[in-house]
Amino acid sequence: MSADLNPTSSTAGAPGAPPLARLLDQAADAVMAVQRGRSLTDALATVPGPLRPGTQALSFLALRRLGAAQALREIVANRTPPPQVESLLLVALALLWPEDGQPAPYPDHTLVDQAVNCARRRVPAAANFINAVLRRFVRERAALVAQVSHQPVAAWNHPAWWIERLRADWPAHWQGLLQAAQQRPPLTLRVNRRRGTGAQYQAQLAVAGLAAELIGPQALLLAQAVPVERLPGFAQGWVSVQDASAQLAAPLLLGAGLPAGARVLDACAAPGGKTAHLLELAELDLLALDSDAQRLARVGQTLQRLQLQAELRAADARQTAAWWDGRPFDAILLDAPCSAAGIVRRHPDIRWLRRADDIGALAAIQAELLDTLWGTLKPGGRLLFATCSVFRAEGQAQIDAFLQRRGPDGARLDPVSPGHLLPLPDNGPNPAPSTPGVTAAGHGDGFFYALLHKPEA
């Protein structure tokens, strides 16, 4: 995982920092790639190594303010410019957008000057246009910001359908969820229990000059995000990066414990964080399955670093004839494909990549996975259904429909199930304790968990 860096760490003119014009060029390409449907992760992978941290920082900020930047662009440029020009303009407008309580990442004159320099190399004929538009925005910023701020997409920096779905799903919390999505995520660590306790690793971090708060027996919240290379013993498998909400999966599935050598399926395993956590906590005969062979390779790399073992198989979990030997599983983790709406603060491109009809299509896949894998679970076994989403269609509504299909004697929802974990700002309203199936996520991302039990035969 790479940290969500502060853009000022790459300020033009800082010793050793790449010129801002080059970072703007790379960030504009990244934003253009997202607008064309490519993930930011893939786009950043093509950026030269020395430019990648600064490019990521600018891209994250631009995507978190893309709704406002697009609304401004429609006002200050009366016709849509070519994609290479528009993407640069959007990045620059996003960086010039005033943010309450936060300093501007660059002085206005520096940003405008560097954007024009970038345009001269990127699309030379557009340099004067970029200069005129940005200077107009700087002159008229207060009026232009006020003009677009009443537009929901500009005010919340999410697509209109996303805003409306959150409003319908969470009438008391939709604004807090949108605010939380704009915040930088914390860097949370999971200490390998086979190597030590959370408190012991916290002391090692202190020796390395890194402050961290212990938020669980093996979970540490770093005061400031750093590259993993700075974490003591990371290469040796002492610790992993894993969100606090994601760290609930393994303990929930294992419960009071499974017999040594219990047969466990991790049905959608990549990139392997939950797979590894299960193996850190128990001796299991674990099959890690994923439909994407390249992503499954990351599971193998994670397990190798942590010195853990599991059987890895690339296959679609719905096609049991291709991978299942007929022996039922004691426990199944189904971390199902979803919209990822709960981790949008960590991946700000998600909101712009998803479409409204994606939710129904993903919910159908989740239902198919639930029904198929239920047949591979032994009587008396347990299945943990998880999604990193805050949308009810991918959470409680999905489980309600499954329980209705199975009937009261076919499946049971364990009352320890957290249900929806909502990432809300610290100063925002939290779900009432009496709200069934809803919990504040605390430091974690948005998730949904439902632990299901299969009756004994």
Which residues are catalytic, by number?
Answer: 388
DSSP tally for the chain: helices H, then strands E: 18, 13
Locus of tokens 């990066």: 241
60 neighbors 348 (Cβ within 8 angstroms): yes
Q: CA 108 to CA 437: how far, in whole Å?
A: 47
Give the closest residue to 122 by CA, choosing from 87, 167, 173. Answer: 87
Q: Which two tokens stand for residue 417?
A: 């199930």
Q: Which two tokens stand for residue 403?
A: 């329980």
Q: CA 171 to CA 401: how far, in whole Å?
A: 22
Give the closest residue to 387 by CA, choosing from 274, 282, 241. Answer: 274
- Secondary structure (3-state) at 307: coil
Q: CA 447 to CA 389: how far, in whole Å?
A: 5
In one-letter notation, the amino acid at residue 410 is: G
312 neighbors 296 (Cβ within 8 angstroms): yes
Q: Which two tokens stand for residue 66?
A: 């893309």
Bridging pattern class, strands 262-266 and 284-290: parallel
* E strand segments, 230-354: 239-241, 262-266, 284-290, 311-314, 329-335
Cα→Cα distances 23→52, 61, 336, 366, Å? 8, 13, 36, 39
Bridging pattern class, strands 419-422 and 438-440: parallel
Q: Which two tokens stand for residue 36?
A: 């064309």
